[in-house]
A and B are shown apart, each in its own frame.
Chain A
Amino acid sequence: MNLHVPALTQEAAPVRTTCPYCGVGCGVLARPDGQGGASVAGDPQHPANFGRLCSKGSALGETLSLDDRVLHPEIAGRRATWDEALDAVTDGFRRTIAAHGPDSVAFYLSGQLLTEDYYVANKLAKGFIGTPHVDTNSRLCMSSSVAAHRRAFGSDTVPGCYEDLDEADLLVLVGSNTAWCHPILFRRMLDARAKRGTKIVAIDPRRTQTGEEADLFLGLKPGTDTTLFSGLLVHLADTGALDPRYIAAHTAGFEPALERARQIAPTIAATAAATGLTEAEVETFFTLFRATPRVVTATSQGVNQSAQGTDKANAIINCHLATGRIGKAGMGPFSLTGQPNAMGGREVGGLANMLAAHMHFTPEEVDLVRRFWNAPNIITGEGMKAVALFEAIERGKIKALWVMGTNPAVSMPRADRVRAALAKLDTYVVSEVVVNTDTVRARNAVLLPALAWGEKDGTVTNSERRISRQRAFLKAPGEARADWWIMAQIGKRLGHAKAFAWGNAAAVFREHAALSEFENRGSRDFDLGGLADITDAAYDAAAPVQWPLTRKAKAPQTRFFADGGFYTRDRKARFVAVQKPALAQATSDALPLRLNTGRVRDHWHTLTRTGKSPRLSAHRAVPFVEIHPDDAAAAGLTDGDLARVRTAHGAAVLEVMVTPGAQPGVLFAPMHWSESNTSDGRVGALAQGAVDPVSGQPELKATPASIAPEPYRSRGYLITRETVAAPFGWWWARASLEGATGLIFAAQDGAPEAATLMRDLFPGATFSEYADPARGRYRAAAFRDGQLLGVLALAPAAERLTWDAAKAFFRNQELLEPSARRALISGRAESAGSGPLVCACHTVGLDTIRAAIKGGAHGVEAVGAVCRAGTNCGSCIPEIRKLLAAELAPASA
């Protein structure tokens, strides 16, 4: 494996940093191992996680290798010097601007960037190049929440904090698989339930692990959240549960909003009919909400990734405003962000509909920012949001694009079209860490090597407005550089040396903080005045801190709006009269189902990081589609089959997972897989992506779709020490394994073709080879000097071959004992295996947990005591609970 140059000795103290995954923003202690890697543990002092880490965070140490890294600049696939690469970018931009104007240049940024990087990108584009077209993958993530906040509060303000989750009596989770996607917050919620009896309600078309764990699960029809919360507002009004004093003192627009809500959902019966829930379910939820003052409504992508996302969020906020349940302990609407620094991007203003530092485009704001930056080319209005931006590339309106730290060729809706559109650009610049993403490979680019987590240095902001440091604990590999540094070089080359002259990340941060304070005087929520003069040393040592933190503040403010003080001109919040919900596209005979997309527990985005971890790749190793048993039966599909899912925009071949947790008529497929790790699983290509009219966020969760069997003769796996290309014609997905890389595949091949392939793959090797051609079975291992090089196994598709036993033989380089050689070929474990992975943190399999339960462990804690499963991040606890229920159920007659 290709490793970092050791930066520190093994005895060095752990470095406090922040996890690069979701928006929970957990503190991490990274201890370099002296070998170029690091061991990772939760930071007990960080107020987001108090020492806990989820499966993904726990496995960060497995993601640090330099395999697949971009280590030097490239121009159109040729290695280049930094000077050549920076000149190429500068010249490209200059030519494009000269020919087509500054607004033919666009930036597509990422919630993975640090705040300092984001700040420099925003300044370069909006103040100096003069293009408003700066958008980010956060557009796909939480821009509807931003828009809803601004409509309701006059600012993009998250009113609460994580302590509210500890102190609530009711937690309403809307469109959020918190158990898998924000596991550490979910542990806090479960702790609250254990401590104070907090009730958890999960609202989701899909019965996720969160739904399994909830006290009340409401499996509503896709896109009907607005109806449910409109019905709730009506119910609160009709049962005298409003807070008239708060409404009168601190809000405006209540009556029209209530009237609209009545039109949408006048009664419990109407609400039930429209949402597909029973009246009893609706009434139970409404009663709970009405009777529980301490209620937090937490929302994620089920709310945001919708063509009506902003209305959904406002329908929820309406209920909190109407009851005055906002900004107080244990109360409030709470957007759980998906990315480590989506919030930082919002603070900087790195979105097309913001200018900078929570400022927009009033003439005063534009002037303020222009003066602060001394900007020659300040923009005066909004730019194009992600979907429109890539459409503009397709139309030839945008001629130069700089993509930083994100993979739009995978993650954008209609991703195939987006990828194809990139060919039309005159200048294509990609700042990246990973060399083989679909976005890098889409076409010739100026490829700039960026620093990765563990190497870069700066700040991120989590969902509760807490700014934490990401610190370097590894040496910068090769010629990789910080994103802010790269952009500053371009700023200088474009003739703005003075404006891009920072010496370090701290200097960038000070300017960012200073802008937030500049002529603020309480007019803007985002104010870091207290940090504007921070010294380099203090910045290096900075503990996590929440904003706002004004120059005069003695302590940071933790909550907003308990006593009004909204950031509208009249300081009052706005109720929003929402639109009656309707999904963007109707189903049809040809496309009778709806495709929902999302994440899995142990993976993140497009697998460029988690895909390196064998542990994280074990939970779900192939792209799959969840389907209700009735729909599966109708389509002639059974669990484990391969199926082709089609929409009007694309198709993917996915492994079928039949589950009653899926709603009839609704498919679910994870969005993680890309062309670099599967043949046919680019789910982003299927999403329709109709945008929310307010936020511009695309709909990713309700695309009309069809599903049909995709028959293959054989299924199998190929595990190799060295990465090998999959043969043409295979369906395949690649996963990292300990000491190896693996392909799970489907093919029309039988045993003879497999035998030929093995000889092609491993010329000169010796083979242990099992063949049963008549039954289409083949297993072979290749050796050189007794060292295991690779294993191929193939069986008829219906046999559902698994590789759990085989992959264990690659863990180390020792020569295999005869019994191990036999086990490798027999497909049987040498000794009893532990079964499919359940607990990723402690690597505990299904069979082990079942055995523990049979052995007398009759509760989650007892199971944990026996085999450690579920004792770290807890995100597998719902699965353990299910196993407990199944194992301990009285035998049916």
Chain B
Amino acid sequence: MTERLVVIGNGMASLRFLERLTEAAPGRFDVTCVGAEPVAAYNRVLLSSLLGGEVDEAACTFRGLDWYAEHGITLVTGAPATAIDTAERIVRVGEGLVLPYDKLVLAVGSVPIRLPKPGMDLPGVITFRDLADVAAIRRAAVTGAKAIVIGGGLLGLEAAVGLARLGVETTLLHVMDRLMERQLDHAAAALVREAMEARGVRVMLQADTAAVEGDGKVERLILANGTILPADLVVMSVGVRPSTALAASAGLAVGRGIRVDDTMATSVPGIYALGECAEHRGQTYGLVEPAYEQAEVLARHLCGVEAAYAGTSLATSLKVSGLPVFSAGAVDVPEGAEAVTWSDPASGLYRKLVIDGDRLIGAVFVGDVAEQGWCKTLIRTGDTLGPDDRDDLMFGRPVSPEIPAPQPLAA
């Protein structure tokens, strides 16, 4: 009898895993995938573009329902898993569906954080995580509306740009003194801020939200310093928390996320976890790239091919509304290390290499990220920098001189 594999969650990590698994070993498992959202896996990365109206919902779709059927996958949508019985090897889903499994994969993602401040439950305070959120924001973002986005991380920036693109007067609040402080230093963050402001987003730094107020719906936001900001819509984008409740109640080892080893196995035999809900070597990830790497590893492992996940080096390569930004490794300069910088703010350019001895340990690029792949490799391998590498990393490899063509003599 074919082994029964149940996958809880149908996000991007889940889909990539299913793709790889069915490519490598079609028919090996009897696969059932259950997702809490009403639709099949879609491209969450494009949500901000969807919000801004740059793409439509169809563009966010990956696989149609027929694909799941063709690959022998039973897909159940709109059905949150409610419990796992590890002794019985069953998963309880929704109102009474029970799925027995031989192998179980948890790809349950994360949940957006809501600030523990008064008024966060008022209508008009919306998180920014899924298609439903986008729909809610778009409904609230009527002409003349005032929107406030809380959170100056990547997602908050994208939400703010999306809102501004809709013609909404948008303010971005960030509690730190620079945007994207985990990925960018001050100079790079300043460039990103300029880019945001050029796109119509008002940016307020060191803005600590104290409360949201309103009579039955959002009307204003109060900062800790007493500033009152009128608002019709508050988008909450202050980070995510890995979804661990289901795993914890099933007795799986849980830290910040569901703890897994290098084969993505949890503390309970036969149960695996991947994506944003997983904690690997003490690290959780909020980006798609590590999730995809984990999906590859787990698919191979379940097909009996030796595979191990060693972690993803912390690189961020993204576009903040068209402005390329790259960040990898150390952002600020540790004691004993040094920074090499090139800053040309008028051209929207910034580059920083963080070097310790003769090894690259970090890089931040804004505006032009051409050498990002090389940087990532160097940071990962710890290879020694060659004599020209600093310049080549900073400015690109030089063009080679050419022999001039013969010129006619002047008359």
Q: Measuring CB to CB, which residues of chain A are less than 8 angstroms from any residue of chain B?
A: 766-775, 783, 786, 818, 821-822, 825-828, 831-833, 847-848, 851-852, 854-855, 864-868, 871
CB-CB under 8 A from A826, the residues of chain B are 391, 394-395, 398
- Do A828 and B344 contact each other (CB < 8 Å), given the known contacts A774-B338, A851-B403, A852-B404? no
Report Cα–Cα, A773/B395, bound state, in Å.
17
Most buried by A among B344, B345, B406: B344
Cβ contact within 8 Å between B401 and A821: no
CB-CB under 8 A from B343, the residues of chain A are 767-770
Cβ contact within 8 Å between B400 and A832: yes
Cβ contact within 8 Å between A831 and B409: no
Report Cα–Cα, A865/B338, bound state, in Å.
51
- Do A865 and B406 contact each other (CB < 8 Å), given the known contacts A772-B390, A821-B347, A832-B399? yes
Cβ contact within 8 Å between B344 and A769: yes
Contact of A769 among B338, B342, B399, B409 (CB under 8 A): B342
The answer, yes or no, to whether B341 is at the interface (CB within 8 Å) is yes
Closest to B390 in A: A772
Q: What are 11 of the A-B contact pairs (CB < 8 Å)? A: A770-B343, A770-B394, A772-B338, A772-B390, A774-B340, A786-B346, A822-B395, A828-B398, A832-B400, A832-B401, A851-B402
The answer, yes or no, to whether B143 is at the interface (CB within 8 Å) is no
CB-CB under 8 A from A851, the residues of chain B are 401-404
What 8 new A-B contacts, CB under 8 Å, besides A768-B343, A769-B344, A851-B402?
A771-B342, A825-B395, A828-B391, A848-B404, A851-B404, A864-B409, A866-B407, A868-B410
Task: For the complex of A and B, list the 8 residue pairs with the smallest distance between their C-beta atoms, beginning with the closest.
Answer: A832-B401, A768-B344, A826-B395, A774-B338, A772-B340, A851-B403, A770-B342, A766-B346
CB-CB under 8 A from A768, the residues of chain B are 342-344, 346-347, 349
Main secondary structure of the interface of B (DSSP, over half): mixed
Contact with A along B314-339 (1 / 0, CB 8 A): 00000000000000000000000011
Contact with A along B377-411 (1 / 0, CB 8 A): 00000000000001100111011111110110110
Cβ contact within 8 Å between B407 and A868: yes
Shortest distance between the CB of A846 and any CB in chain B (Å): 12
Report Cα–Cα, A871/B396, bound state, in Å.
38
CB-CB under 8 A from A867, the residues of chain B are 404, 406-407
Closest to B391 in A: A826
Closest to B344 in A: A768
Cβ contact within 8 Å between A855 and B403: yes
Cβ contact within 8 Å between B391 and A825: no
Closest to B341 in A: A771
CB-CB under 8 A from B340, the residues of chain A are 770-772, 774-775
CB-CB under 8 A from A831, the residues of chain B are 399, 402
CB-CB under 8 A from A864, the residues of chain B are 409
CB-CB under 8 A from B346, the residues of chain A are 766, 768, 783, 786
Closest to A769 in B: B343
Shortest distance between the CB of B19 and any CB in chain A (Å): 39
Most buried by B among A766, A772, A775, A865: A772
Report Cα–Cα, A855/B390, bound state, in Å.
33
Report Cα–Cα, A827/B392, bound state, in Å.
12
Contact of B344 among A771, A821, A832 (CB under 8 A): A821
Report Cα–Cα, A768/B341, bound state, in Å.
10
Contact with A along B143-155 (1 / 0, CB 8 A): 0000000000000
- Do A828 and B395 contact each other (CB < 8 Å), given the known contacts A848-B404, A865-B406? yes
Report Cα–Cα, A867/B344, bound state, in Å.
37
Shortest distance between the CB of A448 and any CB in chain B (Å): 42
CB-CB under 8 A from B402, the residues of chain A are 831-832, 851
- Do A847 and B407 contact each other (CB < 8 Å), given the known contacts A766-B346, A771-B341, A828-B395? no
Report Cα–Cα, A840/B10, bound state, in Å.
72
Report Cα–Cα, A629/B312, bound state, in Å.
56
Cβ contact within 8 Å between B345 and A766: yes
Closest to B410 in A: A868
Report Cα–Cα, A851/B400, bound state, in Å.
13
Closest to A765 in B: B346
Report Cα–Cα, A864/B339, bound state, in Å.
48
Cβ contact within 8 Å between B401 and A847: yes
CB-CB under 8 A from A855, the residues of chain B are 403-404, 406
CB-CB under 8 A from A770, the residues of chain B are 340-343, 394
Q: Which residues of B (336-368) have their CB < 8 Å from a CB of A?
A: 338-347, 349, 355
Report Cα–Cα, A832/B398, bound state, in Å.
9
CB-CB under 8 A from B395, the residues of chain A are 822, 825-826, 828
CB-CB under 8 A from B403, the residues of chain A are 851-852, 854-855
Shortest distance between the CB of B360 and any CB in chain A (Å): 13
CB-CB under 8 A from B409, the residues of chain A are 864-865, 868, 871
Shortest distance between the CB of A35 and any CB in chain B (Å): 22
- Do A825 and B400 contact each other (CB < 8 Å), given the known contacts A772-B390, A865-B409? no
Report Cα–Cα, A774/B357, bound state, in Å.
10
CB-CB under 8 A from A825, the residues of chain B are 342, 344, 395
Report Cα–Cα, A753/B398, bound state, in Å.
28
Shortest distance between the CB of A547 and any CB in chain B (Å): 38
Closest to B398 in A: A828
Shortest distance between the CB of B244 and any CB in chain A (Å): 44
Shortest distance between the CB of A503 and any CB in chain B (Å): 44
Report Cα–Cα, A775/B343, bound state, in Å.
17
Cβ contact within 8 Å between B344 and A773: no
Contact of A818 among B347, B391, B399 (CB under 8 A): B347
Report Cα–Cα, A833/B391, bound state, in Å.
18
CB-CB under 8 A from A847, the residues of chain B are 401
CB-CB under 8 A from B355, the residues of chain A are 774
CB-CB under 8 A from B347, the residues of chain A are 768, 818, 821
Closest to A844 in B: B404
Report Cα–Cα, A783/B345, bound state, in Å.
11
CB-CB under 8 A from A828, the residues of chain B are 391, 395, 398
CB-CB under 8 A from A821, the residues of chain B are 344, 347
Report Cα–Cα, A772/B339, bound state, in Å.
7
Shortest distance between the CB of A850 and any CB in chain B (Å): 9
Shortest distance between the CB of B338 and any CB in chain A (Å): 4
Report Cα–Cα, A818/B395, bound state, in Å.
12
Report Cα–Cα, A832/B409, bound state, in Å.
22
Shortest distance between the CB of A861 and any CB in chain B (Å): 11
Report Cα–Cα, A871/B410, bound state, in Å.
11
Shortest distance between the CB of A459 and any CB in chain B (Å): 33
Report Cα–Cα, A825/B396, bound state, in Å.
12
Report Cα–Cα, A851/B402, bound state, in Å.
8
Most buried by B among A767, A770, A867: A770
Closest to A818 in B: B347
Report Cα–Cα, A854/B341, bound state, in Å.
38
CB-CB under 8 A from B339, the residues of chain A are 773
Contact of A773 among B338, B342, B391, B407 (CB under 8 A): B338
CB-CB under 8 A from A871, the residues of chain B are 409
CB-CB under 8 A from B391, the residues of chain A are 826-828
CB-CB under 8 A from B401, the residues of chain A are 832-833, 847, 851
Shortest distance between the CB of A116 and any CB in chain B (Å): 38
Report Cα–Cα, A871/B411, bound state, in Å.
12
Closest to B337 in A: A774
Report Cα–Cα, A774/B396, bound state, in Å.
21
Shortest distance between the CB of B183 and any CB in chain A (Å): 21
CB-CB under 8 A from A771, the residues of chain B are 340-342
Most buried by A among B342, B398, B399, B409: B342
